[in-house]
Chains A and B, each alone.
Chain A
């Protein structure tokens, strides 16, 4: 970690980014005033070459103005992180081109900075602030507001379309409706108490969030996760990816009103969720991952259940993809729709399927080689077109890779002599930061944890996979028509809950 003064942030970030080759993984602030160190802004850059994340910590001297030079003019990916820092901490990024509120909506008072340590977690506040949306104005232009309560069974978000006739000229998304203050809620909680909430940040990424959080805690303790636990984590995490990808393939078809494959996808997902319940006691695999290892081992019977399910899923999913390929009307809807160019994907430091469909082969399982993924044979699937079809194709290819990974992990697990599934009681270092990362179904999911001397959470920062990909959606929609919005939106299938926390 590099320690610098806030004034030097741009220079240090430039060095760590390696001329833009290392992408900005995350940026967040930490209130370290109770430790006598004032506020600090952390920037994380992913170094693919060294399979590591490089961190720069910019110190805001106590007593000085709470401000630092914005990185957004250099790295567009920093825009939302810095808006969030300003919203939650009141630390101002200087020269930021767009400092509108992001996380806290109209119902919060002005100058209320909840993540400061002086603000109690349960403060009951009420007030009024402005939350302006970006709108295009001019003769003949009109506005179509949608949400936050939508027509389907989906999460809440408000979308403001500025229209020039049929074409979307500009789209601004107002998100963070489900902001529950989880990062604040876990402060002062024990590791186990925090894990319980971390698993409930998001339903569809429960396992990914739990794995990232546990990895960060394990790094603080030098705990060695038993090999059996690592293998089981792979199986559980890939089962999560599998049910997401299969369900999302079906959901994407709903975006085009194509009901037969939509129903097929929903049925296949249901089978996988039932399989999850059989092996973990919960359809969303909650309660399996614990710091230091796993909660219960997968027995031979469990492996048999999974393997039988994989064969069924593989066959039925193949039929589903064949149905899609044979429909010219459907292909016509998804080709050249919602394009994200490769340069945009790099500029926004996109992750997951969003990045891989635009030709950026990022995958935390390879790039950072966490757990035992380096021992498993699998490919990173990419496409170059960056449209809805590309994201669908990446998803389809990844289903096959995921099934391959689960089979490998199960066969290694069957021959694993070690019986321990969780390392002994964790002794963690206090007031030191550590990151954990895992590849969720939507992309890399990063957690950064700092503990206090009682081994309770001092600061947890969560950057889910959806965070860097959300800003790409309005860009993908430019020039498209509103009826294609559900299709483009579902091709990314981003979580709102993960983003909002």
Chain B
């Protein structure tokens, strides 16, 4: 017991502020230098999930729903047009007006959010990163956000993985079990883009094929920092949704 108390007292406070800048080697959001592009198209064929397309001006555009941040396009790009920065790719709100993330974060501290995790067919990397949100470094609870045991207690489901045929029914039942108003977050390239394993007999595809998705978090897997930002944005979004919801009337 003495050792236990000693270990609690000896530990420094480990909790950190959100930092969306990774280490120097981190393969984060892609940067493009249009002036150097020679329109060779090598990045298109190098991408294993087809996340790159050419814009009307023949410049590479990245679909962060699908991107798995593998680095193959940046390697293939002879001219150095494409390169990975060490920044987290930012979550995208798909259902409401796209407001500025920074403002959302500041506004988010006023509303709690209860979240249920739902694995729709993931490789477990996103799940482990989500579990990391509850560790002392990220300490999700300080934002008034917590994971709950049942969809009946949840304001939002955080869905990981491409929807498999074996799980589709469970995904729909979980969504239906949630009380209104409710939000859906697609975490990682599988849930958001659904292109990781291509099309197979066992897959339904991206989450938006069977559920309305409100927020997308890019990454393979997204770092916990990106998930935190998405959660803070979601809690603000939820506040708006509550005002609109007929069930809540004048509440909030």
Q: Mark A346-361, 1 if CB is under 8 A from B, else 0.
A: 0000000000000000
Q: A134 in the interface, Cβ–Cβ < 8 Å?
A: no
A201 to chain B, nearest CB (A): 6
Chain B residues whose C-beta falls within 8 Å of the C-beta of A269 in the assembled complex? 132, 135
Residue-wise, chain B 89-132 has the 8 Å CB interface mask toward A (1 for contact) of 00000000000000000000000000011110111111111111
Chain A residues with CB below 8 A from B24, complex form: 278
Give, as a whole number of angstroms, the nearest-CB distance from B8 to chain A.
6
Q: Is B238 an interface residue (CB 8 A)?
A: no
User: Any chain B CB within 8 A of the CB of A385?
Assistant: no
With A and B bound together, what is the CA distance between A77 and B150 in angstroms?
36
Q: Is the CB of B1 within 8 A of A200?
A: no
Give the chain B neighbours of A273 by CB distance below 8 A: 132
Does A145 lie at the interface of the complex (its beta carbon under 8 Å from any beta carbon of B)?
Answer: no
Picked from B22, B68, B147, B170, the residue with its CB within 8 Å of the CB of A149 is B170
Binds B, one of A213-221, A259-267, A367-375, A469-477: A259-267
| Interface size counted on chain A using CB atoms at 8 A | 67
B3–A280 CB distance below 8 A: no
**A54-B161 Cα distance, complex, nearest whole Å:** 36
What is the distance, in angstroms, from B192's C-beta to the closest C-beta of chain A? 14
Given A107-B166, A196-B70, do A184 and B23 touch, yes or no (CB 8 Å)? no
User: A142-163: which have CB < 8 Å to B?
Assistant: 148-149, 151-156
Q: Which A residues are in CB contact (< 8 Å) with B247? A: none
CA distance A482 to B118 in the complex (A): 22
B121 → A minimal CB distance (Å): 4
A313 to B17, CA, bound (A): 23
Asked if A176 lies at the interface with its beta carbon under 8 angstroms from chain B, I say yes
- Residues of A contacting B118 in the complex (Cβ-Cβ under 8 angstroms): 149
Q: Are B197 and A181 in contact (CB under 8 A)?
A: yes
Contact B25 A281 (CB under 8 A): yes
- B211 beta carbon closer than 8 Å to chain A: no
Are B127 and A181 in touch, CB under 8 angstroms?
no
Known contacts A203-B126, A266-B135, A323-B4; is A156 also within 8 Å of B221 by CB? no
Residue pair A267, B197 in contact (C-beta under 8 Å): no
With contacts defined as CB atoms under 8 Å apart, how many contacts are there between chain A and chain B in the complex? 192
Contact with A along B155-171 (1 / 0, CB 8 A): 00000011011111110
Question: How would residues 1 to 45 of chain B score, 1 for a CB under 8 Å from any chain A CB and 0 otherwise?
Answer: 111100110110010000000111111000000000000000000
Q: Flag if B7 contacts A153 (CB, 8 Å).
A: no
**A493: shortest Cβ distance to chain B, in Å?**
11
Residue A182 CB within 8 A of the other chain: yes
Within 8 A of B (CB), among A471-499: 495-497
Q: How many residues of B contact A (CB 8 A)?
A: 68
Q: Shortest CB–CB separation between residue A261 and chain B, in angstroms?
A: 8
B127 close to A154 (CB less than 8 A): yes
Q: Is A178 an interface residue (CB 8 A)?
A: yes
Q: In the complex the two chains form, is A286's CB within 8 Å of B200's CB?
A: no
Q: Please tell me if the beta carbons of A153 and B137 are within 8 angstroms of each other in the complex.
A: no
Flag if A122 contacts B200 (CB, 8 Å): yes
Chain A neighbourhood of B201, CB < 8 A: 112, 114, 119, 121-125, 181, 184
Indicate whether B199 reaches chain A with its CB closer than 8 angstroms.
yes
Please name all residues of chain B whose beta carbon is closer than 8 Å to the beta carbon of A206 when the two chains form the complex: 125
- B124 nearest CB across to chain A (Å): 4
A113 to chain B minimum Cβ distance, whole angstroms, is 10
Is the CB of B181 closer than 8 A to any CB of chain A? Answer: no
B164 touches A286 (CB 8 A): no
Chain B positions within 8 Å of A201 at CB level:
123
| A267 neighbours in B (Cβ, 8 Å) | 14, 135-137
Question: With A178-B161, A260-B4, A266-B132 as given contacts, are A121 and B200 in contact (CB-CB < 8 Å)?
Answer: yes
Minimum CB distance partner of B4 in chain A:
A323
Query: A322: CB under 8 A from chain B?
Result: yes
Task: Please encode chain A, from 181 to 200, with 1 for each CB lying within 8 Å of some chain B CB and 0 for all others.
Answer: 11011000000010011001
Known: A177-B170, A180-B202. A497 touches B122 (CB 8 A): yes
Q: Which residue of B lies closest to A206 (CB)?
A: B125
Let me know if A326 is at the binding interface, CB within 8 A. Answer: yes
Q: A125 to B202: give the CA distance in the assembly, Å.
A: 9
Q: Is A379 an interface residue (CB 8 A)?
A: no
CA distance A123 to B202 in the complex (A): 9
Q: Which residues of the partner chain A approach B2 to less than 8 Å between Cβ atoms?
A: 326
B169 touches A153 (CB 8 A): no
Residue from the list A124, A179, A320 in contact with B164, Cβ < 8 A: A179
Beyond the given pairs A155-B122, A180-B202, A278-B25, 18 more chain A to chain B contacts, judged by CB atoms under 8 angstroms and listed by A's residue number, are A107-B169, A121-B199, A156-B119, A177-B121, A178-B167, A179-B166, A184-B202, A200-B197, A203-B123, A203-B221, A206-B125, A264-B7, A270-B138, A277-B22, A281-B27, A320-B7, A323-B4, A496-B124
23 intermolecular pairs with C-beta atoms under 8 Å apart: A107-B165, A108-B165, A114-B201, A148-B167, A152-B147, A152-B149, A153-B147, A155-B124, A156-B170, A197-B196, A200-B197, A204-B124, A266-B136, A267-B136, A269-B132, A270-B137, A274-B23, A278-B23, A283-B129, A283-B223, A287-B71, A320-B7, A322-B7
- Where the two chains meet, the residues of B that have a C-beta atom closer than 8 Å to any C-beta of A are 1-4, 7-8, 10-11, 14, 22-27, 48, 68-72, 84, 116-119, 121-132, 134-138, 147, 149-151, 161-162, 164-170, 174, 196-203, 220-221, 223
A residues at B contact (CB < 8 Å): 104-105, 107-108, 112, 114, 119, 121-125, 148-149, 151-156, 176-182, 184-185, 193, 196-197, 200-204, 206, 247, 260, 263-264, 266-267, 269-270, 273-274, 277-284, 286-287, 319-320, 322-323, 326-327, 495-497
